[in-house]
Structure 1
Amino acid sequence: MISTTTISRRQALQRSLLLPLVAGVSSAAASAEPAAAGRSATVLVAYFTRTGNTRLIATQIARTLEATLFQIVPAAAYPEDYEAQVAQAEDERQRGYEPPLQATVPDLSSYETVFLGFPIWGMTAPSVIRSFLSQHDLSGKTLVPFITHGGYGLGNSLAVVAEHAPGARPIDGFSKECDQERETLREVTQWLGSVEIRR
């Protein structure tokens, strides 16, 4: 069973300020970098993030296990606007599109265990995760998912992972409910309706 807990975005961001940044990892480029000098050469933590929630978990896993951290980054960035990103993600899902990646994991064969992290988009794994799994053969490797979601659960994301990594050995993972952006936007819009401003 995937364990579940709840964290607010504010808590996540506050905690992220307490965590040292991992060298070489940024939202602008994907790279595989050690989380510590004495890292485990057999553990990889690969993750995709949009708001930073999944990055927070990935960084903690990599630090604790002294593992290699790799950020999954699409070649073309998703829109900053939330609604536009949702529309694009739905279009990709409907078409079965797998977007190109900025980079792939170098020397994947050296890793025995892969932690794979991502947020739930539209009750499934983002298309970029399908791309990652299609471009990386995880056959024979232990695969550990860690997933963030907005309160609606994991959808069919685990089935997607299993389908795209048929030779991997999946084990129980971790999931965390984080603030839902759509609800935040709704509340902000409602609040703005009560604000009197001069134009």
Structure 2
Amino acid sequence: MQKSNKILIAYFSYSGNTGIVAQEIKKVIGGDVFKIETVEEYPQNYNRVVDIARQEQKADARPALKTSIVDMDSYNVIILGYPNWCGTIPMAVFTFLERYNFKDKIILPYCTHGGSRMGRSETDIVKAARGADVKRGLDIYGSDVKNSKTAISGWLKREGIIQQV
């Protein structure tokens, strides 16, 4: 990675796991962190969240977001984190991706999950972030999040974001 690259770590997190990974990535490579948050908060009850996620996906919903990035054009590397919801990115992440121009930007996706790994999320990111160079993602099982430093560093090295040691 060239030193002139400016990195944004954007993530959506329901349980906190995806946010823990975002902070670990920041420790490793620096960059700015942006939490993707919906205007309407999701309930605490996990089963209810799953129901809402399915409803949003079926309706192809685009939940409204609380905030936005002021100068997305200044970033050329976006580390994009999210939990795998129903086999892909949460609909709020679609809202985020469709809000900006990702042409000629690098996107490195990572997801936290309960067993479904990346699902079809990488393909959906390619479709939603037209013109972006979407790299191979990293999936982290939810209970492994706190011990994922080695996996994160290896992924960032493999994708050329940090140099080999």
Give TM class, smaller chain.
0.7 to 0.9
Answering whether residue 19 of structure 2 is matched by residue 55 of structure 1, we say yes
Residues 47 and 118 in structure 1, CA contact (< 8 A), matched pair in contact too: yes
Give the Å deviation of 1:64.
1.8
| 1:147 matched residue in structure 2 | 111
Per-residue Cα deviation, 1:37-75 (whole angstroms, up to 9, x for no partner): xxx871000000011111111011112212000000001
Structure 2 residue matching 1:61: 3-state secondary structure: helix
TM-score when scaled to structure 2? 0.81
The answer to whether the 8 Å contact 2:125/2:134 transfers is no
Residue 38 of structure 2 is aligned to residue 94 of structure 1: no
Q: Which amino acid aligns with 2:29?
A: L
TM-score by length of 1: 0.68
Q: Which residue of 1 aligns with 2:100?
A: 136
Q: Is 1:112 the equivalent of 2:73? A: no
Q: Is the 8 A contact 2:9 2:34 kept in 1?
A: yes
Aligned sequence identity (%): 31
* Runs of 4+ with >3 A deviation: none
In the alignment, the residues of structure 1 paired with residue 12 and residue 38 of structure 2 have an alpha-carbon distance, to the nearest angstrom, of 9
Task: Report the Cα distance in structure 2 between the residues aligned to 1:174 and 1:78, rounded to whole angstroms.
Answer: 25
Unaligned runs of 5+ in 2: 144-165
Which letter maps to 1:64? V
User: How far apart are the structure 2 equivalents of 1:101 and 1:87?
Assistant: 20
Mapped to 1, the partners of 2:41 and 2:100 lie a distance apart of: 20
Determine if the alignment matches structure 1 residue 124 to structure 2 residue 91.
no
Counterpart position of 1:163: 127
Conserved 8 A contact 1:130-1:164: yes
- Which of the numbers 136, 140, 157 marks the counterpart of 1:176? 140
User: Counterparts of 1:171 and 1:130 in 2: how far apart (Å)?
Assistant: 17
Question: Structure 1 unaligned runs (5+)?
Answer: 1-39, 180-199
Contact 1:41-1:68 within 8 A present in 2 as well: no
CA deviations 1:140-194 (Å, max 9, x no partner) are 1011001111012222111111110121011122111124xxxxxxxxxxxxxxx
Q: Is the 8 A contact 1:41 1:110 kept in 2?
A: no
Residue-pair matches, total: 140
> Residue 116 of structure 1: CA displacement?
0.2
Out of 84, 93, 108, the residue aligned to residue 48 of structure 2 is 84
